[in-house]
């Protein structure tokens, strides 16, 4: 390897440190107008009337739009096209947009918002999952499965009850994970404009330009060929720019109507309303183990608070149950999942999408089990690790698994064996593991086409231009693209020009979500580059009078022993021989083995693995938690650029620790005299607590490389998986420090103090959910696991008994 | 109609005149009236540090400073850090060591760090943590930022090679 695996400045590094990276709000066009949205002040209401005349007549105002101007709905998932760009009638959370003003500047637009009079009829709010279950009315969405229950899912892979009955021990635990938000420092912004031919261009801070393109065509009822979406580099995404947004639709419509560029940049408060963040999830885990510490079966129940719209929720709900099986051997598995609608900002995908919540429960429960059985928590996990290249109970195909090495690394580097259970009171150490997808196996819109495409263009000067729809959100997708092409063609990555994230000129990429870019784009890039390499080798071989397969490509040269051409010379000969040089590559993940309805969520070309040890200090007087150090080892398959890989891992540690200790999206009810509405307690960066540079512990990072054959040069993901073990490792460390279990996140000092008080009173030293409500889960879909004679399809209930 | 006000100040070492509405913040004047979009914003409320610039060498939040307050003063933004085409050692170290991921908080942190290194040649890790504690970064977990500032200090102390 000449390029891959070597620590290196990223190809877009210079522009990021000179202020030249052009984010969406940096796009400025002649005659540009500015837009602001009027948002509902009520969490749940019907619009009886909107009066816009005064706003329209305000000097400097060019256009006022309301729900009447947008008859067509949109949504990221085909099954939940439930949002209007501007609500025509029904508002479902504080911040739901109802009108827009386009004016000569932001100040004028903001003033004119005050001149719009909206008459609302207030409806009762549904504020929690418990309320949603108890009150089918007022119904937030007519399409929900039942009352205010959006989705219900249930799957059973083998007879879990029978296994639990036979187990030596069954552990039952409840956990709660509070919702939190992405908090990218860049606020969402979009600029829409008509080009010289009257076609629409939208520059937007989005992780998913392809889906925005699709939604714009639908909402504006324009031919997709007349729309171009350019994803500007995102100033942080974390899943918060994965959805199709109201403001994108409205700005585009305004630009089409006015024939002038229109910009909108959300303010920070609006970013909190836009949300699409981590679902609050209540969980129940029942897990059976043998006396000697082998897991026999697990039953997981989840209840997710979805907020006011569908967003990714149907998928998020599946993800609360889909990935419990990919880390440890689990002969039988069952999960019941539910998502409810409430009158809060919609929840969606945040780093880890639906899996950090159950991962927290799973890994804390494993800690409890290990203690009860008297087995070291690290050994307990090592004993149960899934075997590489195996199928799981729910029919996921897992490839390489570097988890044993990850556990070994963090155990030895942290001094785990000498320190766990041996530190003085108030100091503790905790361990947890995690695994994550390297790209969702199926696209959001089901189709048989590739998920990503790469196009390469070679110039006789030796210049290589690579086109791909992938979206740079800080993770370094441009760098990965350049590095992979450079490795194949034997050139310097800085010689490559990347053109990315533009639906008008780049081949498709579905977006920067589900940790899919390195694997999918990378595979497509190898395919395209190999095609060109073959042509160049053929032409160069003629010139050098050697066999093409003997030629090497490296350091900007094409050579065999002393016979050498520069890369540019070789490209020139190839152009003579074959004409203009271009090639395309594309990638579609392997077909997943599961055939049951619902098998589409969970499959991935590969899975990454992580182990983490957290050291914690707890002050028993104040409950204050300090984390001096974290050890993390991540099985990345292969690190394409170790500088970036380490950054992804440490950024995940940061975000995971921040979620473990403080991040929470909380709401409060106003007193009745102030409308009794449910509002955000803290829609500001100052009040929404997150770790600062002063709070961040030392992090010891190890990249474990267990290459996966499905991945480009073996490289797996690094952007999401390393977050997963951090939260449970913190909880386990706190238990080791002061002997109390905090079974809900975030773990704040008041919860620790409450648990310590309970301990003192002789009660169970635990703070966490006390009960799980009655959820009308359906009868599960029964799918026998591979080792029980299944073929990946569901079977009829009466057949269940006959399959052995 | 409101009328604009005039401002004269030094921007990245050069005298500049600007004309703008009097209520505008320095952030707005830099980005909207002078076209220097390298200075970012994440809240416009003084909470995130993304808009930090140097005013007379001190890190200040440009979203909280009225542009009018800068009359006769010297303002430095990220656009003024490089010498010609040569990156400032902080910029080079940030790019080399992964301290800029999405790059959005980067300009504010670079300038805050520059002010620190101008006062202290070899700040400790603790001093660095303190100095940038008002600049939120959601991508890096700060480790590579700390390392880049330390590396820049080292390169600056070695002097030009």
Structure token digits, residue A93: 């959370």
Q: Is residue A420 scored above 80 in pLDDT?
A: yes
- A504 and A632 co-located in one domain: no
**Nearest-CB residue to A18 (from B31, B82, B146):** B82
Structure tokens at A304: 């997710």
What region does A766 belong to: left with phi over 0, alpha with psi -120 to 50, or beta?
beta
Indicate the pLDDT class of residue A669, thresholds 50, 70 and 90.
confident
**Chain B residues touching A16 at Cβ < 8 A:** 94-95, 100, 102-103, 106
User: Residue B102 sits in a domain of what CATH number?
Assistant: 1.10.150.120
Alpha-carbon distances, residue A673 vs A119, A618, A676 (angstroms): 18, 42, 7
Q: Could you say which of A18, A23, A650 has the minimum Cβ distance to residue B91?
A: A18
Q: Does residue B112 sit in the same domain as residue B71?
A: no
Distances (CA, A) of A567 to A8, A174, A459, A495, A576: 22, 61, 11, 11, 14
Percent of chain A with pLDDT over 90: 96
Mode of pairing for the β-strands spanning A149-157 and A332-340: antiparallel
My answer on whether B19 and B68 are in the same domain is: yes
Distance CA(A70)–CA(B32), nearest Å, equals 31
Contact B45 A686 (CB under 8 A): yes
Contact (CB<8Å) B110/A17: yes
Q: Above 90 in pLDDT, residue B154?
A: yes
| Res A277: pLDDT | 97
Give the H or E element holding residue A288. strand A281-289
CA A363/CA A745 separation, integer angstroms:
13
Q: Give the pLDDT score at A655.
A: 98
Instruction: Count residue pairs from A and B with Cβ separation < 8 A.
Output: 174
Evaluate whether residue A597 is within a structural domain.
no
Nearest chain A residue (CA) to B99 = A647
Element at B59 (helix H, strand E): strand B58-61
A619, exposed or middle or buried, with CB in 10 Å at 0-12, 13-18, 19+? Answer: middle
Chain centre to alpha carbon of residue B4? 26
Quick check: is A283 in a domain? Answer: yes
In a shared domain, residues B64 and B107: no
With a cut of 90, say whether residue A668 has pLDDT above it.
no
Q: What is the CATH number of the domain that holds B19?
A: 3.10.20.30
**Residue A362 pLDDT more than 70?**
yes
Domain co-membership, B40 together with B13: yes
CA A324/CA A435 separation, integer angstroms: 9
Give B2's pLDDT tier (boundaries 50, 70, 90): low
What is the ipTM metric for this complex? 0.98
* Per-residue pLDDT, A798: 62
Kindly compute the dihedral angle of the four CA atoms of residues A357, A361, A364, A370, in this order, to the nearest 10 degrees.
-140
A554 sits in which H/E element = strand A552-554
d(CA A605, CA A588): 9
CB within 8 Å: B100 and A13: yes
CA separation (Å) from A485 to A267, A370, A641, B71? 39, 47, 13, 51
- The radius of gyration computed from the CA coordinates of chain B, to the nearest angstrom, equals 16
Q: Which residues 683-722 of chain A have a CB within 8 Å of chain B?
A: 684-686, 690, 692-694, 696, 698-699
Whether A362 and A468 share a structural domain: no
- Please count the CA atoms within 13 angstroms of the CA of B2 that sit on its side-chain side: 12
The domain total for chain A is 3
Q: Quick one: B42 and B107 in the same domain?
A: no
Q: Do residues A581 and A611 share a domain?
A: no
Q: Do the domain assignments include residue A144?
A: no
Both B53 and B103 in a single domain?
no
What is the SS3 assignment for A700-769?
Answer: EEEEECCCCCCCHHHCCCCCCHHHCCHHHHHHHHHHHHHCCEECEECCCHHHHHHHHHHHHCCCCCEECC
Q: Report the alpha-carbon distance of residue A404 to residue A412 in Å, rounded.
A: 12
Chosen from A14, A17, A703 to mutate, greatest number of chain B CBs within 10 A: A17
User: What are the DSSP E strand ranges found in A372-514?
Assistant: 390-391, 397-398, 427-437, 452-458, 464-468, 496-500
**Residue A751 CB contacts under 8 Å (≥ 6 apart), including other chains:** A623, A742, A744, A767
Find out whether A301 and A156 touch, Cβ atoms under 8 Å.
no
Q: Does the distance separating the beta carbons of A9 and B142 come in below 8 Å?
A: no
Q: What is the mean pLDDT of chain B?
A: 96
Nearest Cα to Cα of residue A264 among A275, A276, A254, A277: A254
Taking a C-beta distance cutoff of 8 angstroms, is the pair A354, A440 a contact?
A: no
pLDDT in tens, A688-734: 999 999 999 999 999 999 999 999 999 999 999 999 999 999 999 99
Confidence grade of residue B161 (pLDDT, cut at 50, 70, 90): low
Q: Could you give the CA distance from residue A156 to residue A354 in angstroms, rounded to a whole number?
A: 19
Count CA atoms within 13 Å of residue A611 on its CB side: 27
With contacts defined as CB-CB under 8 Å, which chain B residues touch A19? 36-39, 77-79, 107
- Over residues B1-7, mean pLDDT: 82
User: Which chain A residue has its CA at the smallest distance from B48's CA?
Assistant: A685
| DSSP characters over A574-624 | HHHHHSSEEEEEEE-PPPPS--STTTTSS--S-EEEEEEEEEEEE-TTT--
Q: For residues B116 and A515, what is the distance between their CA atoms, to the nearest angstrom?
A: 37
A390 touches chain B (CB under 8 A): no
What is the average pLDDT score of chain A?
A: 96
pLDDT-derived band at A804 (thresholds 50, 70, 90) equals very low
User: What residues are paired with A34 via a beta bridge?
Assistant: A103, A263
* A782 membership: H or E segment, kind and range: strand A781-782
A32 lies in some domain: yes
A566 and A634 both lie in a single domain: no
- Are the beta carbons of B141 and A646 separated by less than 8 Å? no
A747 domain residue, yes or no:
yes
Q: What angle do CA A290, A295, A301 make, to 5 degrees?
A: 120
> How many CB atoms are closer than 10 A to CB B157?
11
**Which whole number is the average pLDDT over A362-384?**
98
pLDDT digits 0-9 by tens, A262-284: 999 999 999 999 999 999 999 99
For residue B60, what is the enclosing H or E element? strand B58-61
Give chain B's domain count.
2
Whether B54 and B109 map to the same domain: the answer is no
CB A529 within 8 A of CB A491: no
Query: Is the domain of A206 the same as that of A62?
Result: yes
pLDDT on residue A676:
74
Q: What tens digit of pLDDT does each residue of B87-113 get?
A: 999 999 999 999 999 999 999 999 999
Assess whether A255 and A349 both reside in one domain: no
Domain residue limits at B138: 89-158
Residues A158 and A286 both lie in one domain? yes
Could you list the beta-strand ranges (E) of A350-451: 390-391, 397-398, 427-437
One domain, residues B76 and B93? no
Query: Where is the domain boundary, B15, B50, B80?
Result: B80
Instruction: For residue A214, tell me if it sits in a domain.
Output: yes
Residue with tokens 């170290």: B93
pLDDT tens sequence across A24-52:
999 999 999 999 999 999 999 999 999 99
Rounded to 5°, angle at Cα A630 from A625 and A631: 155
| Three-state DSSP class for residue A4 | coil
- Same domain membership, residue A570 and residue A639: no
**Given B24, B57, B80, which residue is the final one in a domain?**
B80
Mean pLDDT of A765-783: 97
> Under an 8 A CB cutoff, do A651 and B97 touch?
no
Percentage above 90 pLDDT, chain B? 96
Nearest CA-CA partner of A273 in A687, A665, A663, A659: A665
B159: buried, middle or exposed (CB in 10 Å: 19+, 13-18, 0-12)? exposed
Other Cβ atoms closer than 10 A to A460 = 15
Asked if residue B115 and residue B58 are part of one domain, the reply reads no
Is residue A149 predicted with pLDDT exceeding 80? yes
Q: How far is A398 from chain B (nearest CA, A)?
A: 29
Instruction: Tell me which of A553, A587, A621 is where a domain ends.
Output: A587
Please, are residues A236 and A473 in contact by the beta-carbon 8 Å criterion?
yes
**Residue A804 domain flag:** no
- By three-state DSSP, how is residue A114 classified? coil
Residue of B79, B139, B143 lying closest to A19 (CB–CB): B79
The answer to whether the Cβ–Cβ distance between B142 and A238 falls below 8 Å is no
Nearest CA in chain A to B46: A686
Q: Which of B80, B103, B119 is the last residue of a domain?
A: B80
Cβ(A509)–Cβ(A468) under 8 Å?
A: yes
Q: What is the pLDDT of residue A678?
A: 77
- Asked whether residue A579 is domain-assigned, the answer is yes
**Which residue is closest to A183 within chain B, CA to CA?**
B138
Whether the CB of A19 is below 8 Å from some CB of chain B: the reply is: yes
CA atoms in the 13 A half-sphere facing the CB of A169: 18
**A474 and A340 in one domain?**
no
- State yes or no: pLDDT of B64 exceeds 90: yes
Is residue B36 located within the same domain as residue B64? yes
- Those of residues 254-283 in A touching chain B at CB distance below 8 A are 267-268
Structure tokens given for B98:
């992964």
Same domain, B76 and B94: no
Does B138 contact A236 at a Cβ distance shorter than 8 Å?
yes
Are A655 and A732 members of one domain? yes
Asked if residues A32 and A261 have their Cβ atoms less than 8 Å apart, the reply is: yes
Give the three-state DSSP class for B18. strand
Note the maximum CA span of chain A.
90
Which residues span the domain enclosing A213? Answer: 24-123+186-235+241-274
Residue contact B98–A10, C-beta within 8 A: yes
How large is the angle between the packed helices A377-384 and A403-414, nearest 10 degrees? 170
Angle at Cα A620 formed by Cα A619 and Cα A623, nearest 5°?
65
Which burial class, exposed, middle or buried, applies to A773 when counting CB atoms under 10 A from its CB (0-12, 13-18, 19+)? Answer: middle
How far apart, in whole angstroms, are the C-alpha atoms of residue A608 and residue A706?
Answer: 9
Interface probe with A: pick from B59, B81, B102, B126, most Cβ of A within 10 Å: B102
pLDDT in tens, A299-345: 999 999 999 999 999 999 999 999 999 999 999 999 999 999 999 99
Q: CB distance from A489 to chain B under 8 Å?
A: no
Report the CATH number at residue A95.
3.90.1170.50
A21 touches chain B (CB under 8 A): yes
Chain A residue with Cα closest to B138: A184
A330 and A215 co-located in one domain: no
- The answer to whether the Cβ–Cβ distance between B47 and A686 falls below 8 Å is yes
| CATH number assigned to the domain comprising residue A346 | 3.30.365.10
Q: Measuring CA to CA, which residue among A795, A773, A803, A794 is closest to residue A149?
A: A773
Our measurement of the distance from residue A664's CA atom to the centroid of its chain's CA atoms, rounded to an integer in Å, reads 17
Give dist(CA A136, CA A456) in Å, integer.
55
Same domain, A283 and A269: no
Q: Is A423 exposed, middle or buried (0-12, 13-18, 19+ CB in 10 A)?
A: middle
Interface contact flag, B81 A696, Cβ < 8 Å: no
Q: What is the mean pLDDT of residues A794-799?
A: 77
Q: How far is CA A589 from CA A199, A239, A508, A710, B84, in A?
A: 34, 21, 15, 9, 47
Q: Any idea what DSSP says for residue A70?
A: -
CB-CB contact of A610 with A329 (8 Å) = no
Shortest Cα distance, chain A CAs vs residue B3, angstroms: 15
CA distance A384 to A103: 62
């Amino acid at each position: 390897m000449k390029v891959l695996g070597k620590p290196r400045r990223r190809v877009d590094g210079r522009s990021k440190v000179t202020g030249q990276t052009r984010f969406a709000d940096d796009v400025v066009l002649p005659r540009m107008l500015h837009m602001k949205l009027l948002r509902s002040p009520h969490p749940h209401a019907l619009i009886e009337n909107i009066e816009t005349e005064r706003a329209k007549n305000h000097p400097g105002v060019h256009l006022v739009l309301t729900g009447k101007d947008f008859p067509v709905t949109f949504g990221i998932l085909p099954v939940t096209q439930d949002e209007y760009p501007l609500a025509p009638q029904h508002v479902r959370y504080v911040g739901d947009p109802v009108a827009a003003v386009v004016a000569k500047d932001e100040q004028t637009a903001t003033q004119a918002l005050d001149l719009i009079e909206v008459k609302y009829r207030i409806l009762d709010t549904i504020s929690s999952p418990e309320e949603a279950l108890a009150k089918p009315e007022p119904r937030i969405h007519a399409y929900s499965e039942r009352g205010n229950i959006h989705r219900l899912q249930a799957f059973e892979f083998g007879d879990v009850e029978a296994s639990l009955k036979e187990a030596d021990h069954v552990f039952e635990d409840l956990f709660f994970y509070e919702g939190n938000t992405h908090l990218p420092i860049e606020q969402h912004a979009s600029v829409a404009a008509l080009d010289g031919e009257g076609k629409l261009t939208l520059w937007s801070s989005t992780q998913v330009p392809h889906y925005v393109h699709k939604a714009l065509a639908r909402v504006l009822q324009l031919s997709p060929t007349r729309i171009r979406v350019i994803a500007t580099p995102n100033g942080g995404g974390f899943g918060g720019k994965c959805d199709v947004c109201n403001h994108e639709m409205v700005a585009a419509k305004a630009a089409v109507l006015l024939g002038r560029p229109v910009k909108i940049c959300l303010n920070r408060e609006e970013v909190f309303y836009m949300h699409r963040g981590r679902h609050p999830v209540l969980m129940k885990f029942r897990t059976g183990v043998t006396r000697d510490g082998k897991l026999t079966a697990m039953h997981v129940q989840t209840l997710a608070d979805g907020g006011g719209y569908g967003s990714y929720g149907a998928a998020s709900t599946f993800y609360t149950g889909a990935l419990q099986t990919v880390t440890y051997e689990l002969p039988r598995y069952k999960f019941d999942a539910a998502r409810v609608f409430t009158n809060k900002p919609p929840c969606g995908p945040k780093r880890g999408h639906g899996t950090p919540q159950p991962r927290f429960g799973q890994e804390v429960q494993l800690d409890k089990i290990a203690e009860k059985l008297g087995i070291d928590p690290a050994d307990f996990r090592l004993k149960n690790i899934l075997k590489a290249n195996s199928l799981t109970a729910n029919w996921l195909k897992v490839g390489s698994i570097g988890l044993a090495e990850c556990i070994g690394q963090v155990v030895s580097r942290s001094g785990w064996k000498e320190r766990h259970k041996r530190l003085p009171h108030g100091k503790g150490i905790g361990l947890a593991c995690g695994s994550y997808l390297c790209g969702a196996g199926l696209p959001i819109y089901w189709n048989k086409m590739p998920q990503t495409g790469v196009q390469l263009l070679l110039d006789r000067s030796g210049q290589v231009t690579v086109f791909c729809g992938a979206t740079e959100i800080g993770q370094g997708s441009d760098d990965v693209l350049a590095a992979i092409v450079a490795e194949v063609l034997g050139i310097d990555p800085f010689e490559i020009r990347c053109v990315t994230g533009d639906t008008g000129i780049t081949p498709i990429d579905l977006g920067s979500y589900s940790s899919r870019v390195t694997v999918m784009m990378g595979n497509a890039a190898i395919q395209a580059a190999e095609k060109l390499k073959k042509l160049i080798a053929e032409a160069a071989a003629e010139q050098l009078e050697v066999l093409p397969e003997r030629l090497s490509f490296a350091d900007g040269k094409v050579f065999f022993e002393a016979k050498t051409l520069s890369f540019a010379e070789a490209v020139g000969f190839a152009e003579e021989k074959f004409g203009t040089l271009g090639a395309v590559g594309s990638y579609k993940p392997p077909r997943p083995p599961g055939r049951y309805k619902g098998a589409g969520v969970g499959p991935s070309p590969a899975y990454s693995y992580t182990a983490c040890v957290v050291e914690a200090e707890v002050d028993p007087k104040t409950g204050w938690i300090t984390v001096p150090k974290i050890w993390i080892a991540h099985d990345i398959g292969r690190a394409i650029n170790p500088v970036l890989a380490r950054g992804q891992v440490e950024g995940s540690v940061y975000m995971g620790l921040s979620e473990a200790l403080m991040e929470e999206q909380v709401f409060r009810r106003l007193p009745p005299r102030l409308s009794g509405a449910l509002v955000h307690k803290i829609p500001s960066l100052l009040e929404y607590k997150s770790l600062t540079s002063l709070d961040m512990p030392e992090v010891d990072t190890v990249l474990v490389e267990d290459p996966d054959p499905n991945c480009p040069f073996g490289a797996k993901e690094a952007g999401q998986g390393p977050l997963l073990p951090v939260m449970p490792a913190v909880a386990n460390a706190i238990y080791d420090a002061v002997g109390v279990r905090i079974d809900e996140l975030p773990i704040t000092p008041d919860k620790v103090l409450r648990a310590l008080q309970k301990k003192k009173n002789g009660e169970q030293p635990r703070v966490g959910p006390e009960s799980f409500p009655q959820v009308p889960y359906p009868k599960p879909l029964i799918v026998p696991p591979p080792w029980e004679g299944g073929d990946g399809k569901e079977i009829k209930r009466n057949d269940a008994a006959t399959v052995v | 109609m409101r009328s604009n006000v005039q401002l004269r100040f030094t921007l990245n070492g050069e005298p500049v005149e600007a004309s703008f509405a009097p209520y505008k913040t320095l952030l707005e004047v830099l980005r909207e009236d002078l076209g220097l979009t390298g200075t970012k914003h994440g809240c416009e409320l003084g909470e995130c540090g993304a808009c930090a610039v140097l005013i007379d060498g001190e890190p200040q939040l440009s979203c909280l400073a009225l542009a009018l307050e800068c009359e006769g003063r010297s303002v430095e933004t990220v656009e003024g850090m490089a010498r010609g085409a040569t990156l400032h050692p902080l910029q080079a170290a940030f790019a080399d060591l992964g301290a800029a991921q999405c790059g959005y908080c980067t300009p504010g942190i670079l300038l805050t760090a520059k002010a620190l290194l101008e006062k202290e040649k070899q700040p400790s890790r603790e001093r660095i943590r303190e100095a940038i504690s008002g600049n939120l970064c959601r991508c890096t977990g700060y480790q590579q930022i700390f390392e880049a500032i330390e590396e820049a200090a080292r390169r600056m102390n070695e002097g030009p090679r």
